[in-house]
Chain A
């Protein structure tokens, strides 16, 4: 009887110890991860991050592009971009907003407008014409509604054979 009770007690202790393991491991893992996250936050951010502001905009990754702005990128600064058809393969300098319109990135357009992109430059106001030229009615509507500045109602015809973005280049 005594032996049976002792055996039962030792098994109870064993169960008690073993069942703690997953709980303690979970507590240690989450504590370690949070410590790691606090020390090196960049290693924990979502898997894909575009390497440049222009790439983030073109990929329609509003969150990623916004991080460039939070890190100091100016949403109204001129950025160098190049594209096989949009710029005929050469580097041209345009505003982030125009680049977002050219690459059919509506979320990037919305993000830029929300984070301070203005339409003070004529080429930015003409972005609505670029959207029309590229048959992007969604972005055209967004630009028209969200712009505090009056936008052109009629657009000049695009020149055939010319890369679309060259007309919006800021020199």
Chain B
């Protein structure tokens, strides 16, 4: 235990001279996927369907309208950030570049901070860290948060990780104010930021050096104030805001309302769906797509990879996490804390997605899933080194399989980004006339749409690659 603690401490504090070198190695081997991903995002046209309405809001409405929490969606800092960019930049190109950066910089920070946080000490650690990066990038919670310009959770994810880093470091005078500030920013971008409260509570309960009772009480007080403010301005919000995935199908909000007079089990289902999506990549948006294909004998390679890699990784995390908690008893290590933090984040993300399940809503928990994956894989590799013969070969094969499947998923994320770009451009090519009809009574909308047409139809936007069918179906579902 002492040795493990020592090794973990070295890994986390980075005092070992080689830690920086291995961190650079992980950054270097992860760079190809990340460079392709971010260069694709940079060239992706904004979607016609989501972006224009958002920009219309920030172009027209007074700032105070975003501060009053009378709508079911309350994201004041996100909207004020968009507004600041939209109203201060002079040209449409500059505005769109600013909004793109608002989305991409947090995602890039997340990946870099994640790699820095792993601080691999040896080549073996670095290999596991590289797989963990693939876990982060290849998961639905990351993919779904790449959708321009919906940056809300993309901002919250690196903030949650930064809070966790500070909580597990020796306290400094600026840590608590910084954590509170990051909490407020995360909540200001989306209510999912509230998951930072259970994170801090877990850290405090498990003796993390940077977590204090005072800090937790402050965060709880701020949360209560947030809830009171939200309830005070509560208008007549619909019971279900968006379509709800249920079993193998999807129900419109009106149908859910009509079908379920007592909606609490639908809430529970949606919450569980978000949690399961992080752990097993299934269901997606509450719908069991892969299971449906298995039942109907139409299973495809990408589905096998998604399900198998997630199930195997989750099993590895659970085995490792339970053994850590049992081992540590009351003297909690960073490993136990990470495992319990993952459980808390899963529960919190589940609760906050009670109304409908979407892959992106599991994004905050995904950060901790990937962190736990790193520690679990490292422990599994150490365990493999103690085994003989067939057992050694089996665990080694398991690790290689996991690495291969998650790397395929990470590459799939780059293809997903290309597909989104292609879909967005097609929207601009074909849907503008219909929008002119549908939004004829909204001149600001029409004016913004018109100004964005050049970026929407610009030649050379990324599009899905031409791969042989078997390669394409290994990476992604059919379009």
Binds A, one of B153-161, B188-196, B343-351, B431-439: B431-439
| Cβ of B9 under 8 Å from chain A | no
Most chain-B Cβ atoms within 10 A of its Cβ — which of A27, A44, A62, A146? Answer: A27
Residue-wise, chain B 165-189 has the 8 Å CB interface mask toward A (1 for contact) of 0000000000000000000000000
- Would you call B422 and A46 a contact (CB within 8 A)? yes
Q: A141 — nearest CB in chain B belongs to which residue?
A: B437
Q: B123 — nearest CB in chain A belongs to which residue?
A: A16
Measured CA separation A27–B434 after assembly (Å): 43
Q: Residues of B contacting A34 with CB < 8 Å? A: 32, 36
Q: A4 — nearest CB in chain B belongs to which residue?
A: B386
Q: B131 — nearest CB in chain A belongs to which residue?
A: A23
| Cβ of B459 under 8 Å from chain A | yes
- Smallest CB separation, B450 vs chain A (Å): 11
| Cβ of B428 under 8 Å from chain A | yes
Of residues 1 through 58 on chain A, the ones whose CB sits less than 8 Å from some CB of chain B are 8-9, 11-12, 14-27, 29-31, 33-34, 37, 43-47
- Would you call A26 and B426 a contact (CB within 8 A)? no
- Would you call B436 and A145 a contact (CB within 8 A)? yes
- Would you call B381 and A12 a contact (CB within 8 A)? yes
Binds A, one of B92-100, B285-293, B296-304, B404-412: B404-412
- Would you call B459 and A21 a contact (CB within 8 A)? no
| Cβ of A66 under 8 Å from chain B | yes
Q: Residues of B contacting A111 with CB < 8 Å? A: 429-430
- Would you call A22 and B404 a contact (CB within 8 A)? yes
- Would you call B429 and A15 a contact (CB within 8 A)? no
- Smallest CB separation, A149 vs chain B (Å): 14
- Would you call A26 and B466 a contact (CB within 8 A)? no
Binds A, one of B68-76, B208-216, B329-337, B392-400: B392-400
Q: B472 — nearest CB in chain A belongs to which residue?
A: A47
Q: Residues of B contacting A104 with CB < 8 Å? A: none
Q: B453 — nearest CB in chain A belongs to which residue?
A: A114
Set B385, B400, B408, B457: member contacting A26, Cβ < 8 A: B408
| Cβ of B259 under 8 Å from chain A | no
Most chain-B Cβ atoms within 10 A of its Cβ — which of A22, A25, A44, A113? Answer: A22
Q: Residues of A contacting B134 with CB < 8 Å? A: 23, 26
Q: Contacts A18-B396, A31-B32 given; indicate if A107 touches B437 (C-beta within 8 A).
A: no
Set A24, A27, A29, A107: member contacting B430, Cβ < 8 A: A107
- Would you call B399 and A114 a contact (CB within 8 A)? no
- Would you call A23 and B29 a contact (CB within 8 A)? yes
- Smallest CB separation, A32 vs chain B (Å): 9
Could you name 24 residue pairs across A and B whose Cβ atoms are closer than 8 Å? Answer: A11-B386, A11-B387, A12-B382, A15-B124, A16-B124, A16-B381, A19-B124, A19-B396, A22-B400, A24-B29, A27-B29, A27-B31, A33-B465, A34-B36, A37-B465, A62-B426, A63-B426, A67-B459, A70-B459, A110-B429, A111-B429, A114-B433, A114-B457, A145-B436
